Amino acid sequence: MTPLDPHKLPVHLAVIMDGNGRWAQQRMLKRIIGHQRGAETVKMVVEQASLLGIKYLTLFAFSSENWSRPALEVRALMTLLKKYIRQETARMMRKNIRYNVIGNRRELPDDVNETLDGAIQKTAENTGMVLTLALSYGGRQELCRAAARLAEEAVTGTLSPVDITTELFNKYLDTGNLPDPDFLIRTSGEMRISNFLLWQLAYTELYFTDTNWPDFTINELHKALADFQSRERRFGMTGDQITERGDLLNA
Ligand code: IPE
Ligand code: IPE
Ligand code: MG
């Protein structure tokens, strides 16, 4: 396995887990079987990220646009999500992992929200990795919700528009308590963002692999992280400036 420098890991790793449906269809299986197999990959990545000491892991599990899929697939995904959370919460406790959710939770079924609330409450005091699930999440929708809240405060007079800085705006996003992702992995060969974390990905290093999510392995995760470690992040500055300010390299 590719050796990794433990001091140069992403603080925040984000993943677009794509290709479950095609994985299944290539094997003449129903798409939901692909999602079930994908859930096994989720367990592996959560365990590995936590073992490696990654502080924040954010997984794109269901997009705002995924509601347009056939009702049967949407229902099956919601059921799988509930089952996953119920089965995994004890392990999250053992591994000191805290659950967090971003996205429009009002669109999720009540039983899913109840399961999520239970898991969030139970793991609230855990101090290890923060596992954020993006559910019914869309970047544009999140930006609109933030803008609406800011507008509301401007109208009621508790906020002056001149005080709207990038730092303040950031606090109004669902990810207000999270640092921006350092590294984004997308599986299945698609090279697009699909409305994920539009604001937060401004300076994120991107990594695409052809592997479908159910086939994504520990080795591939390590290979991706090794690739991250080989990159020079410049944040708009020159390479020389970055060498001088080594502290920024993996900020
Ligand atoms: C990702 O796999 C999981 C979700 C979007 C819920 P897909 O279901 O998008 O799989 P493909 O892209 O159709 O193969
Ligand atoms: C993005 O995958 C959403 C998730 C992985 C949950 P999609 O499969 O929905 O994205 P598109 O439609 O190929 O862009
Ligand atoms: Mg897809």
pLDDT on residue 250: 54
Q: Which of 177, 195, 193, 203 is nearest to 101 (CA)?
A: 177
- Which of 15, 16, 18, 80 gets mutated to test ligand 2 (max ligand atoms within 8 A of its CB)? 18
- Give per-10-residue mean pLDDT for the chain (251 aa): 89 98 98 98 98 98 98 98 98 98 98 98 98 98 98 97 98 98 98 98 98 98 98 93 74 52
Please report the DSSP string for 81-113 in residue order.
Answer: HHHHHHHHHHHHHHTT-EEEEES-GGGS-HHHH
pLDDT of residue 1: 72
Dist. CA 65–CA 17, nearest whole Å: 15
In ligand 1, which atom is closest to the CA atom of 24? 14
**Domains with residue ranges and CATH for the chain:** 12-138+180-250 (3.40.1180.10)
Please give the positions annotated as active site. 18, 66
Q: Which numbered atom of ligand 1 lies nearest the CA of 31? A: 8
**Sign of the torsion formed by the C-alpha atoms of 206, 13, 110 and 151:** negative
Say which ligand is closest to the CA of 25: 1
Residue 245: per-residue pLDDT: 83
Question: Quick one: which of 250, 173, 175 has its CA closest to 9?
Answer: 250
Does any ligand 2 atom lie closer than 6 A to the CB of residue 182? no
How high is the pLDDT of residue 195? 98
DSSP 8-state code for residue 195: T
Instruction: Determine contact, residues 176/142, Cβ cutoff 8 Å.
Output: no
Q: Residue 135 CA: which ligand is closest?
A: 2
Helix (H, G, I), strand (E, B) or coil at 206: strand
For ligand 2, atom 12: residue with the closest CA: 194
Chain position carrying tokens 């502290």: 247
183: left (phi over 0), alpha (psi -120 to 50) or beta: beta
